[in-house]
Amino acid sequence: MINLGFVGYGYWGPNLVRNFYATVGAAVKKVCDCSLQRLETVKATYPSVDITQDYEELVKDPNIDAVVISTPVSTHFSLAKKALEEGKHLLLEKPMTATVKEAEELIGLAQRKQKVLMVDHIFLYTGAVRKIKKVIEDGELGNIYYFDSVRVNLGLFQHDVNVIWDLAPHDLSIMDYLLAKKPEAISAVGISHFGNLENIAYITVQFPDNLLAHIHVNWLAPVKIRRTLIGGSKKMVVYDDNEPSEKVKIYDCGVTCIENKEDVYQMLVQYRTGDMLAPKLDTTEALKLMSKEFIDSINQNRKPFTDGEAGLRVTRLLEAANESLKEKGRVVKV
Amino acid sequence: MINLGFVGYGYWGPNLVRNFYATVGAAVKKVCDCSLQRLETVKATYPSVDITQDYEELVKDPNIDAVVISTPVSTHFSLAKKALEEGKHLLLEKPMTATVKEAEELIGLAQRKQKVLMVDHIFLYTGAVRKIKKVIEDGELGNIYYFDSVRVNLGLFQHDVNVIWDLAPHDLSIMDYLLAKKPEAISAVGISHFGNLENIAYITVQFPDNLLAHIHVNWLAPVKIRRTLIGGSKKMVVYDDNEPSEKVKIYDCGVTCIENKEDVYQMLVQYRTGDMLAPKLDTTEALKLMSKEFIDSINQNRKPFTDGEAGLRVTRLLEAANESLKEKGRVVKV
Amino acid sequence: MINLGFVGYGYWGPNLVRNFYATVGAAVKKVCDCSLQRLETVKATYPSVDITQDYEELVKDPNIDAVVISTPVSTHFSLAKKALEEGKHLLLEKPMTATVKEAEELIGLAQRKQKVLMVDHIFLYTGAVRKIKKVIEDGELGNIYYFDSVRVNLGLFQHDVNVIWDLAPHDLSIMDYLLAKKPEAISAVGISHFGNLENIAYITVQFPDNLLAHIHVNWLAPVKIRRTLIGGSKKMVVYDDNEPSEKVKIYDCGVTCIENKEDVYQMLVQYRTGDMLAPKLDTTEALKLMSKEFIDSINQNRKPFTDGEAGLRVTRLLEAANESLKEKGRVVKV
Amino acid sequence: MINLGFVGYGYWGPNLVRNFYATVGAAVKKVCDCSLQRLETVKATYPSVDITQDYEELVKDPNIDAVVISTPVSTHFSLAKKALEEGKHLLLEKPMTATVKEAEELIGLAQRKQKVLMVDHIFLYTGAVRKIKKVIEDGELGNIYYFDSVRVNLGLFQHDVNVIWDLAPHDLSIMDYLLAKKPEAISAVGISHFGNLENIAYITVQFPDNLLAHIHVNWLAPVKIRRTLIGGSKKMVVYDDNEPSEKVKIYDCGVTCIENKEDVYQMLVQYRTGDMLAPKLDTTEALKLMSKEFIDSINQNRKPFTDGEAGLRVTRLLEAANESLKEKGRVVKV
């Protein structure tokens, strides 16, 4: 049985507690939050769980094996460092840390302490993303030409990070997992209409081999859009997370270039369109699989699926995107 | 009666001929094309119309008052210049010219010759765009925050221009008309998977007063998307040209920023969501209105709605976008 | 404080318990179910709530003021009768009872005992249905011409009732509430592919004044459809419960008949199409409002919004539909 | 070369003329209509085609081999009879005739005269319906459980026939072709809000072997719906004619009934949901294939695909539906 302590019971924390509560082999022992009111909600829902406003108390509790952190990103590093130093396994909400340096330090610390360091890249546990990964690994898409993701909606402004740090970790972690390639450069433009934090942003990620990724994040759209296009030489994918059931559509269509030396004005590019398949997806809740993975990786003493390195790669892109953002879209090498 | 000569009977030319044929006050006199086969199609459909492979013959025909050009953009300037020099009124397919310099020269020439110079920015004649313009002019949207346009599909590769010059003129002309503001800078990234011409591109246009525009054009998408989001401080618009009937949706939603000096951690930004209205749109065919506007502006001896200046503004953005594209997204002042 | 006892903790029971648990002025005291396993779930979730397998114990508990019944409909009458006889207020899941006679007897009993008798017609508490009711009451639709409802999906076969008794209570209760007219006749055709219970059925309800209602219920459809069309002389409504946000759309369109004595072959019917409005809907959870209404009606000693009479009207239509069903669609007067 | 004469140049006639004009092996010789204005449109569009207001002249023209009739259905029989008597091949617009007796007489006459008698059941020539037919013939759907079709929209009231005779021939011909079974009984309810002709109607067709069909036709809906559900024991089809590209979706889902003698209260029905496939459809225009089929069947001296018998079967259902309609939904044997 892995005994768990939780830090942060705001927006996402209750979901984590609820899922680990139902995870075989996990025991929710203690929840820490600065708000007494939130802690009372914990007590009302889970009378057997201890509560505390004092993180020291939680992190030094010898009965706790692992700490789950879902606080504002600016606090991740110091909280996480303490937990690792106290010999706890660690699950960090995304984005992992506020800087690349912090992420690297946590990875090193976890290695030295031989503890599991996992980042909650939740979308990687969805049936949709896992299916797309399989389709790509099976070579169905052929060469991948582009990755285009839109994640916009009205109504969840953050106060400590801009829209890139808030929404793009989802797209960047999906991109990192699906493409499995090292990006060369990133650029980002954005704009802030309220205060200093950008509420709209466009991110471009350049990869080798003519592969381009683009992400549009926006807190200020009248409609909710969650749609990713992935274009390949053989097939193409539309992943629409708003669709209630047919989230992934695989289009058997493509383009072939014909070298026609004689008549350059003739059609050199041929289109092929075929069937569209919306495969059945595993509908197991992503959070459930993620919780299980954390517990399993501790018990099996192995790297988790979404480990610190995965978190670091996303943080590196976020940091570079922010750098580009400040310089109005200058291309930043990564 | 305005007598018309047409140059170019490829993809768009037949639509122009068909519409002017049905326009009161216009007479289709002659069609010029390099392909004899296409000219035979003209003759079969309109037995009374003359055909020629010789542009000189058309442009020097004293019975012709106005010339309509729908040829590849690289040929626009020389064809247009000749027509103006011969004292013809001129309608140019979009984009107006291949360079800013060419556009400026045509505008100067038309002024000296006192001839109408019009560019076929066809979307500006649709019921949808005209309705959005009215909504903006009436102040319904409040301050405009952003303009975001996606125009992607599979299957219409061009061989003489890249995807920006092919598709973005639509979005740029709509943006120019609706925002009616002078842009400050533009950047573009793109990629070409077949030959030298980019088939995917992302364009960012920066305006003063915290206004940002972004355009995604793509020849290689598995689905057809034609959707523009316009965010304002009071209301927001979704314009989806694929919708069969409800193309324009006006969302009565917005964001208000509250200055809360005491508690910076409290919610400072408030959302308002209200009704959505899909107004009835005028369904008159845009080409019909455009044809009428050309004839009317000649008869009334006035500037047309989509004049050479409008064409120049779009060409200026295209030229700058191409410059940025070649330098991997460098921000170019305009 | 109203103390509540619950009977039935299967599919819907947990939702009722959860909502009343959170309702001000209500206290969940006891849950009764024949399954010990389900009762253990109750105890795990709500440690302070008593559990029992013995309905007698619950219904005779003097500390309980009101009983909430969500068991199979065949058991409603005997359970409800006992509760009323013991002087408890009563909330019955839909459909109210298995026969008209039973419903009438319960109404009489509740009157004599001066107890609240309420039926959980849950859709009548949704923001969507309440908004449509208001639109109708305000006369916006004009004369109502028809009510057409489709409620189909794959995958929730019942074992004690056919698809009409399972799904149509929703549509019939919405129809009863919105139209507020006394039907004249009903007919139903259906078919059963597995055992004796019909899994597809079509119901027609005839009203005076040229008003027709039709309901399609189907357990065996590949897609989920929840869509109601309401046609009026002035405006028409599309209510699509699957839409995440724009569930109600009001079309400003209609038909006018012109008496043209001279030329009967000319267009006598004129169409008018105008704007479409998707009004903002109250998103308060329907169950929350329903729970509050039950408690309020007890405290205020008044008839609840969805009272026994409403339940009876729906049961009367269900009984007549079943009669028609057995005779292959014979029209049955109601 | 088959020389053709056309009767009726109203709504559908121009489409027929245009398609046969482009059909290899067919020559459009003469068009007959009572309106001189319409005939002038013919002359303007096709200068080489003769026009006449006198049907006798057309039908007795020895140079005409075949007659195409697209006039109001009440005139079909007398026009068709004359054409067959004069030894012309015959293409009739749907519905074939106003009565079963008329249809039978035309079939007999065509047989005696050894002439082709074809009915324009246009939807049977679409790529969508042909694909569904193939899927059914290949046994992919298993046993077919139901056929449910909705065809509603605002704005095309007819003045000579009710909504059943106007719209349902499409659904009935599709149903007849796809199911290829002899119906047992039909019933229909409808209502008329303007004059005597029903503008909304619901038709139920009962087949042997637990197969049920249902058709909803409506001239008075605020939205256009063209959607057919076909449920089978193995797979199910959704055919949405409004979809621009994915008109046919095949759901690999179904229901299995498990005989569980021991525990009748346990789940006896099991659901299976799997992939959804939207197959690529042949996009050849249906009218083009239909025109070719008429000419081919004449040249090959064989029965056409949509022959008089197919027309008769649909007319028989229409006649019975009308009979049921007049008696408020009485079930009529067919």
Residue A267's pLDDT band, with cuts at 50, 70 and 90, is: very low
Residue C266: pLDDT over 80: no
Chain A residue numbers with beta carbons less than 8 Å from the beta carbon of D279 are: 275
Residue C168: pLDDT over 80: yes
Q: Is B276–C246 a contact, with Cβ atoms under 8 angstroms apart?
A: yes
Q: Which of B37, B75, B207, B212 should be substituted to probe chain A, the one whose Cβ sees the most A Cβ atoms within 10 Å? A: B212
The reply to whether B124-285+317-333 shares the fold of B2-122+286-306 is: no
Per-residue confidence (pLDDT) for residue A269, from 0 to 100: 65
Contacts of C95 (CB under 8 A, 6+ apart): C73, C165, C169, C311, C314, C315, C318
Say whether domain B2-122+286-306 belongs to CATH 3.40.50.720: yes
Q: Is C224–A242 a contact, with Cβ atoms under 8 angstroms apart?
A: no
Per-residue confidence (pLDDT) for residue D156, from 0 to 100: 67
Per-residue confidence (pLDDT) for residue D262, from 0 to 100: 52
Instruction: For residues A56 and A58, give the distance between their C-alpha atoms in angstroms, rounded to a whole number.
Output: 5
pLDDT in tens, D86-127: 999 999 999 999 999 999 999 999 999 999 999 999 999 999
Per-residue confidence (pLDDT) for residue A196, from 0 to 100: 85
The whole-angstrom distance between C89's CA and the closest CA on chain B is: 39
* A265: nearest CA partner in chain B: B159
Residue A234's pLDDT band, with cuts at 50, 70 and 90, is: very high
Per-residue confidence (pLDDT) for residue B44, from 0 to 100: 81
Instruction: For residues B94 and C311, give the distance between their C-alpha atoms in angstroms, rounded to a whole number.
Output: 65
Q: What are phi and psi of D309, to 5 degrees?
A: -60, -40
> CB neighbours (10 Å) of residue C115?
20
pLDDT in tens, B35-69: 999 999 998 888 889 999 999 999 999 999 999 99
DSSP-derived secondary structure letter, D307:
B
**Percent of chain C predicted with pLDDT > 70:** 96
pLDDT in tens, C211-246: 999 999 999 999 999 999 999 999 999 999 999 889
* Chains near B (3 or more Cβ pairs under 8 Å): A, C, D
Amino acid B146 reads Y
For residue B293, give both structure tokens. 């506007």
Q: Does C285 touch chain B (CB under 8 A)?
A: no
A293-326 burial by CB neighbour count: b if 16+ within 10 A, else e? Answer: bbbbbbeeeeebbbbbebbbbbbbbbbbbbebbe
Q: Is D218–C148 a contact, with Cβ atoms under 8 angstroms apart?
A: yes
Q: Is C242–A242 a contact, with Cβ atoms under 8 angstroms apart?
A: no
> CB neighbours (10 Å) of residue B14?
18
pLDDT in tens, A124-142: 999 999 999 999 999 999 9
- Residue with the bigger pLDDT between A80 and D245: it is A80
Q: What are phi and psi of D172, to 5 degrees?
A: -65, -40
Regarding beta strands C236-240 and C220-232, do their DSSP bridges make them parallel or antiparallel, or are they unpaired?
antiparallel
Q: Name the residue facing B204 among A145, A150, A329 (closest C-beta).
A: A329
pLDDT in tens, B258-275: 665 555 445 456 777 899
Average pLDDT over residues C102-125: 98
pLDDT in tens, C184-206: 999 999 999 888 899 999 999 99
State the virtual CA torsion across A203, A205, A211, A216 in degrees, nearest 10: -20
3-class SS string, C122-141: HHHHCHHHHHHHHHHHCCCC
Per-residue confidence (pLDDT) for residue D151, from 0 to 100: 97
Q: What are phi and psi of B157, to 5 degrees?
A: -55, 140
pLDDT in tens, C54-84: 999 999 999 999 999 999 999 999 999 999 9
| Structural contact between residues D288 and D19, judged by C-beta atoms closer than 8 angstroms | yes
Instruction: For residues A300 and C175, give the distance between their C-alpha atoms in angstroms, rounded to a whole number.
Output: 58
Contacts of C10 (CB under 8 A, 6+ apart): C33, C38, C70, C71
* Chains near A (3 or more Cβ pairs under 8 Å): B, C, D
Integer CA distances (angstroms), A258 to A214, A231, A262, A268, D226, in order:
28, 19, 11, 5, 40
Per-residue confidence (pLDDT) for residue D264, from 0 to 100: 47
Between chain A and chain D, the number of residue pairs with CB atoms below 8 A apart is 24
Q: Does A43 touch chain C (CB under 8 A)?
A: no
The superfamily in CATH containing domain D124-285+317-333 is Dihydrodipicolinate Reductase; domain 2 (3.30.360.10)
> How is B43-90 classified by DSSP, letter by letter?
HHH-TTSEEES-HHHHHT-TT--EEEE-S-GGGHHHHHHHHHHTT-EE
Q: Does C190 touch chain D (CB under 8 A)?
A: yes
Per-residue confidence (pLDDT) for residue B195, from 0 to 100: 80
The whole-angstrom distance between C155's CA and the closest CA on chain A is: 14
Domain ranges of chain C: 2-122+286-306, 124-285+317-333
For residue C302, give both structure tokens. 């008044």
Q: Which of D147, D161, D163, D189 should be substituted to probe chain C, the one whose Cβ sees the most C Cβ atoms within 10 Å? A: D189
DSSP-derived secondary structure letter, B307:
B
3-class SS string, A144-209: EEEEEEEEEEECCCCCCCCHHHHHHHHHHHHHHHHHCCCCCEEEEEEECCCCCCCCEEEEEEEECC
* Chains near C (3 or more Cβ pairs under 8 Å): A, B, D
Residue C47: pLDDT over 60: yes
Average pLDDT over residues B167-193: 97
pLDDT in tens, A33-59: 999 999 999 988 888 899 999 999 999
Q: Is A278–D280 a contact, with Cβ atoms under 8 angstroms apart?
A: no
> CB neighbours (10 Å) of residue D304?
21
- CB proximity under 8 Å: A 211-250 to D: 246
Chain B residue numbers with beta carbons less than 8 Å from the beta carbon of C280 are: 252, 273-275
pLDDT averaged over chain C?
94
Residue A197: pLDDT over 70: yes
Average pLDDT over residues A91-120: 98
The whole-angstrom distance between B145's CA and the closest CA on chain D is: 33
Per-residue confidence (pLDDT) for residue A48, from 0 to 100: 87
DSSP-derived secondary structure letter, B283:
-
Integer CA distances (angstroms), D102 to B111, D79, D98, D185, D315, in order:
72, 11, 7, 21, 10
Residue A228: pLDDT over 90: yes
CA geometry: angle at B170 spanning B164 and B171, to 5°? 80
Contacts of A282 (CB under 8 A, 6+ apart): A127, A130, A131
| pLDDT digit string (tens) for chain D, length 334 residues | 999 999 999 989 999 999 999 899 999 999 999 999 999 999 888 888 999 999 999 999 999 999 999 999 999 999 999 999 999 999 999 999 999 999 999 999 999 999 999 999 999 999 999 999 999 999 999 999 999 999 999 876 777 899 999 999 999 999 999 999 999 999 999 999 888 899 999 999 999 999 999 999 999 999 999 999 999 999 999 999 999 889 999 999 887 766 655 554 454 567 778 999 999 999 999 999 999 999 999 999 999 999 999 999 999 999 999 999 999 898 999 8
